[in-house]
Amino acid sequence: MTSPDDDVRAATLRLVSDYQTLLGQKRWDAWIDLWAEDGELDFPFAPAGRQRRYRGRPEILAYMSATPGRVAVDAIDQARLFPMQDPTIAMAELTIRGHAPATGAPYNQSYVLIFETKGGKLWRYREYWNPLVAIDAMGGREAWASGFGSPLAAGEGA
């Protein structure tokens, strides 16, 4: 017999799997439906001057749907999913090999991803990664800043 926590944990892990599958397939309409209306996409290691948080479905979709043209994933070398004690949270480790189409430079990155759900939807997603890998792959900080993500407007907080 399963407990209510076991059912929630299983639903959280299914959501993470669906997230990764739909993202890889670039099925943006189905992917954004996984998110809560007030969802938050967070990049805690975003360099100074770059937007760290994207809030709400429209902002998250605008940012994420633009990334495939900037980074191409050639292979996933490692993918591990970890259920957490809190059944609404899961963590994943992901290592990819890829390249930046604009420069042809390698983009080999490791990530730690934390998924938090609320009401069966993705509510908060945190992505820990090394921004230097992206900066180098895209030809330096200036090229990266002008072409990846959106810089903060003057006076805007993260």
pLDDT tens for residues 108-158?
A: 999 999 999 999 999 999 999 998 898 899 888 887 777 655 555 433 444
Highest mean predicted confidence (pLDDT) among 23-27, 49-53, 84-88, 135-139: 84-88
CATH number of 4-147: 3.10.450.50
What are the sequence ranges of the domains in the chain? Answer: 4-147
Burial of 107: CB neighbours in 10 Å, binned 0-12, 13-18, 19+: buried
- With a threshold of 0.85, does the pTM exceed it? yes
Question: What are 153's two structure tokens?
Answer: 């407007």
